[in-house]
Amino acid sequence: MFSSLPFSFMFVFSMVFGTLFSISSSHWLGIWAGLEINLIGFLPILVYQKSILESESAVKYFVVQALGSSLLIFGSLSSCSMSFSWDLSSTAVLSSVGLLITSIGLIMKMGVFPFHFWLPSVMAGLPWLSCLLLATWQKIAPLLLVNSLFELGIMYNFIFLMCLVAGGSSLLGGIGGMNQTQTRAILAYSSIGHLGWLMFALVQSTWAMKTYFSIYILISFCVFMSLWYLNLNNIKNLNILSKMSFFSSASVMMMLLSLGGLPPLLGFVSKWVVMVSSTSMSFWIFLFPLILGSVMSLFYYLNLYFSLYLSALGKSFLNMKSSSNSMFIINSGLLMNLLGGIGLALINMLKEF
């Protein structure tokens, strides 16, 4: 897909190298440098088609990421002024103001509530593969850096604040997608809701966060690649159903429902892991806004599902005009979500016995 972009592999390598350099660094200057290398590599990927919408999204993304990096470096400098060390371990003696500024910078880079305002508008103007990278790979470095702050044994008030951010992010992800007609905007609000679950999983355990994030990346890859092959940009644009079978359209919607967390699909297993790990913690009360946001997300996914289903009833179920590549990707994604969710649930039931 990037073959039309000169030096495309160099940009992808810079993006990957920046993320790996940032999460492997123990110095705040190295963390900041890795995030900037990642930004430099990702920006040309956003504008590979040179359309007006992509250029606008790239400018918005650059401004927000630059602001997040400035807050990150400003907050870490307060650690240096107190401990005379710019290492990540010196954050343990970081002042409350410096810790708050550093956390705001990382949260802004991810697009978590209350700094979510840029993510839907940026994702709405991007192609599908750029949306996939923005929703998955670009979240790795800020998420693991927030995890490093939790591992330093910081104050109780910070953990409580992160739980509030997680609950608000899940609620906003559910409410924001209600009135959307663009599929990219719906997936952007879904990403905000999932980030709320990831932030809450960080409070519980690193294992729960890694499990949830791995399953989210797998489901997002299946969903975005299927939508890329189908070129489904708008909920009301149902003409694509005339070019595909009923089974293929139902498969895409099952993957979207898995992304929303409908049992017994794979997306529910990740939420179930977080819920089980949080029942023994003191912050289990924040599960209620998280579950409420997921229910609202399922509402607009089910609304889209029934719209596609009723539109397909008047068509032949044997209309198999889809290409073999799209059929393979769609059916593989459906099989992965169905068997993954049921298989993991059975494995955990057998462990209990």
Using the predicted structure, report yes or no on whether residue 82 has a pLDDT greater than 90.
Answer: no
Query: What residue spans define the domains of the chain?
Result: 1-151, 155-353
Q: Where is average pLDDT lowest: 245-254, 288-297, 312-321?
A: 312-321
The tens digit of pLDDT for each residue in 279-289 reads 777 777 888 89
* CA 64 distance to own-chain centroid: 17
The tens digit of pLDDT for each residue in 32-64 reads 999 999 999 999 888 876 778 888 889 999 999
Alpha-carbon gap, residue 245 to 322, rounded angstroms: 7
* CA 219 distance to own-chain centroid: 10
Using the predicted structure, report yes or no on whether residue 242 has a pLDDT greater than 50.
Answer: no
Using the predicted structure, report yes or no on whether residue 184 has a pLDDT greater than 80.
Answer: yes
**pLDDT value for 348:** 53
Please state the rounded mean pLDDT for residues 90-107: 73
Using the predicted structure, report yes or no on whether residue 345 has a pLDDT greater than 60.
Answer: no
Residues in the chain: 353
Query: In the chain, how long is the greatest CA-to-CA distance?
Result: 71
User: If you ran DSSP here, which 8-state letter would residue 50 be given?
Assistant: -
pLDDT confidence of 108, banded at 50, 70, 90?
very high
The tens digit of pLDDT for each residue in 119-174 reads 998 998 888 888 899 999 999 999 998 888 876 656 677 788 888 999 999 999 98
Four-residue CA torsion sign, 279, 284, 286, 292: positive
**pLDDT value for 350:** 47
Alpha-carbon gap, residue 49 to 129, rounded angstroms: 12
| Residue among 196, 52, 60, 199 nearest 134 (CA) | 60
Of residues 89 and 237, more confidently modeled:
89
The tens digit of pLDDT for each residue in 316-326 reads 443 444 444 44
**pLDDT value for 112:** 92
Using the predicted structure, report yes or no on whether residue 5 has a pLDDT greater than 80.
Answer: no
**pLDDT value for 273:** 86
